[in-house]
Structure 1
Amino acid sequence: MIDFSDVSIHTKRCILRPWRTSDARILPSIANTKKISWNTSNKFPYPYDETSANTFLTFQTHGLGKDTWQFAITLDEALIGGCGCIRGKDVQTHTAIVGYWLGVEYWGKGLATEVVQALVEYMTHETDVKKLTATVFGWNPASRRVLEKCGFDLEGVSKDAVHKWGKTTDLWYLARSLP
């Protein structure tokens, strides 16, 4: 088995690499915005400080390369976001859930699509995962489009399943089978 700490995925513009403890001091400058937290689970808090970053990095490094594949996204050597997959449990160990986020200034540039496609390729060729799943909040059609461009299909919508900061929306379920 490859040492996950040595994994590096190159896209046209970005590099995906394992998270480092030194990323904790940089993360708040990128992640401390309601715009990112609004579209993520409560595990990605707002406000986002160095304590949040350390908690996040501890979570990102559990089971690396076996049940968790978590990457920092860099552009021109600058940290700009994160992406990864977490293996399903019990009868769903052949699946993994995909997650990704970018700093707000990197939205709308095609970077998320580029990164998710590279993540799909990695999961296809370097793991035994056979299906990728993802969820998207109803108020985030841009993220849904990213997944669709990367070959994910809509599998269902759970009405009013998300409640965050006093607002309620649907939760979209998308998936892609791997060869």
Structure 2
Amino acid sequence: MTDFITTELHTARCLLRPWRTEDIPLVPPIADTRAISWNTSLKFPHPYGEEAARTMVSWSQADAGVDKWQFAVFKDGQLIGGCGTIRGEDVHAHTAVVGYWLGVDWWGRGIASEILAALVDYMREETDIEQLTATCFGWNPASRRVLEKAGFRNEGVRKGVVKKWGKTTDLWVYGMLL
């Protein structure tokens, strides 16, 4: 395993590196939109201000490279999103849950697929994680396509288990053996 704090993952268009304190003011201008929050857990708030960014960066730095692998995503020197994994607990400690988000201006350009592929390669080559899990909401078919392009397989659909802002939808569950 490498020293996580110095990790840099390069894709054709992006740089992924661990979150830093100096990233905090860069997050709200791209994250403060209902469109992103709509497709994420309640841990990704709307509105998304500097305090939320501070909490996220601090959280991402705790146990970084051991139980969390969280990356800021940059394109041409500009923060455009984030991605990462969180180790499972107890009998699931050999697994990790994947998450990713991009600023709305970067949707539909293949960037999510690109960064997810880099994240999967990193997890396979540099960690002891053996299996990845990802979920997406039923109203987000674009996220399903991103997961499928990266090699994740649909493992099932949990009907009506997501409730956000008064709306209910299904939760699609994906997995990948490393």
CA distance in 1, matches of 2:153, 2:59: 28
Q: Which amino acid aligns with 2:56?
A: F
Counterpart in the other structure of 1:47 = 47
- CA offset at residue 156 of structure 1? 1.0
Contact 2:94–2:129 (CA under 8 A) maintained in structure 1: yes
Counterpart in the other structure of 1:102 = 102
Q: Secondary structure at the match of 1:151?
A: coil
Hey, which bits of structure 1, 4+ residues long, moved more than 2 A?
none
- CA offset at residue 2 of structure 1? 2.4
CA distance in 1, matches of 2:176, 2:137: 18
- CA offset at residue 60 of structure 1? 1.0
Whether 1:141 and 2:123 are equivalent positions in the alignment is no
CA distance in 2, matches of 1:80, 1:41: 19
Counterpart in the other structure of 1:81 = 81
Counterpart in the other structure of 1:38 = 38
CA distance in 2, matches of 1:175, 1:116: 13
Cα deviation digits, residues 38-80 of structure 1 (max 9, x gap):
0000000000000111111111111111110000000001100
Alignment of 1:103-142 (within 5 A): 103-142=103-142
Contact 2:70–2:83 (CA under 8 A) maintained in structure 1: yes
Q: Secondary structure at the match of 1:83?
A: strand
CA distance in 2, matches of 1:2, 1:82: 20
TM-score normalised over the length of structure 1: 0.98
Identity fraction in percent: 60
CA distance in 2, matches of 1:55, 1:73: 18
Counterpart in the other structure of 1:61 = 61
Q: Which amino acid aligns with 2:52?
A: S
Counterpart in the other structure of 2:92 = 92
5+ residue gaps, structure 1, are none
CA distance in 1, matches of 2:82, 2:175: 20
CA distance in 1, matches of 2:2, 2:130: 19
CA distance in 2, matches of 1:160, 1:27: 31
For this pair of structures, how many residues does the alignment match? Answer: 178
CA distance in 2, matches of 1:61, 1:11: 23
Counterpart in the other structure of 2:8 = 8
Q: Which amino acid aligns with 1:106?
A: W
Q: Secondary structure at the match of 2:142?
A: helix
Q: RMSD of the TM alignment (CA)?
A: 0.6
CA distance in 1, matches of 2:20, 2:78: 13
5+ residue gaps, structure 2, are none
CA distance in 2, matches of 1:168, 1:127: 36
CA distance in 1, matches of 2:123, 2:91: 19
Q: Which amino acid aligns with 2:57?
A: L
Q: Which amino acid aligns with 2:18?
A: P
Whether 1:152 and 2:160 are equivalent positions in the alignment is no
TM-score normalised over the length of structure 2: 0.99
Q: Which amino acid aligns with 2:114?
A: E
